[in-house]
Structure 1
């Protein structure tokens, strides 16, 4: 797949984002924006295009500076992904389309590229706990059929998607809590997140 993949990335309104990310010196909206910027910047070199589904003007402005298109979408993660998928599918009926979570601040371009190269048909990458999903890929010309939420890894597997299990820890490491952020820092945060984070534990 690789360069023939189009990605849809849902980004919540910043004031509603990362409600489990709590800490005396953590600015949730600023970190959520930094996560999205670093995630998308890491993904851009290895895919054909990225479309973000968001209605937050701060996110739209930041992504415009990266040359990334933003489109408004409905509430709800799966609904937003279906909307983004429909937009991308209308532009290319034969493409492979991926859904990438926006909270992968340690994402490495090479690791995403390796996962995309390993994909055969509809596939998904489970998170580090093995229960959630960080990346879901359609087959070329196929449906995405997102089932994100609790237990999404099992849901995607049951629906016929093949798990992508390989040496790409940064792709599997989404951040919901302060502990997740500490572990992501061990992998190496993207520049925007690193600048936004007060040294963890400091």
Structure 2
């Protein structure tokens, strides 16, 4: 789907620590999940990763934009500034994402100037899209689903469990068909 560019923010140590996972350093797990997310997205369209360090993402074929600042929405805007045409924003914690799910969601999104996919629990946002000529009205953060709807995004739904399941707590990893790097990190057998 060369008519889309996907921006994926991977925000340094603050996100990488995954503090809701409990005490300890969870950077390696967060990186594994982000790499699985980026790899799945690259099977669909070109990807721009906004991050502090990015050699691992470049090795997969993603373009890296160096993150400046601390706000997630600002980081996303940095990536969007490097795009033209149809754009999608996907957060980097979707290690069960399948390319066919993302492809289907983007196909559905072509019918709407602005569209979004809510996360599994229904309060957050997994994906936002804007067609060429439309400007994103980003509202990632607490209760982002409601905020994106209020900003004019049309909600899309479909059989996309890997797209909707972002990983915020350890239990979210249970029962998923995870990407290879996340499986390797967790020592889980392939589903």
TM-score of the pair, normalised by structure 2: 0.91
Q: Any idea what SS the aligned residue of 2:79 has?
A: helix
For 1:1-202, what aligned pairs fall within 5 Å after superposition?
2-14=1-13, 16-17=15-16, 18-22=18-22, 28-47=26-45, 49-56=46-53, 60-73=54-67, 74-88=69-83, 92=84, 95-119=85-109, 120=111, 121-182=113-174, 186-199=175-188
RMSD: 1.7
Cα distance in 1 between the residues matched to 2:9 and 2:116 = 16
TM-score of the pair, normalised by structure 1: 0.86
Cα distance in 2 between the residues matched to 1:177 and 1:125 = 20
4+ residue runs of structure 1 moved beyond 3 angstroms?
Answer: none
Cα distance in 1 between the residues matched to 2:92 and 2:15 = 14
Compute the displacement of 1:3 (Å). 3.2
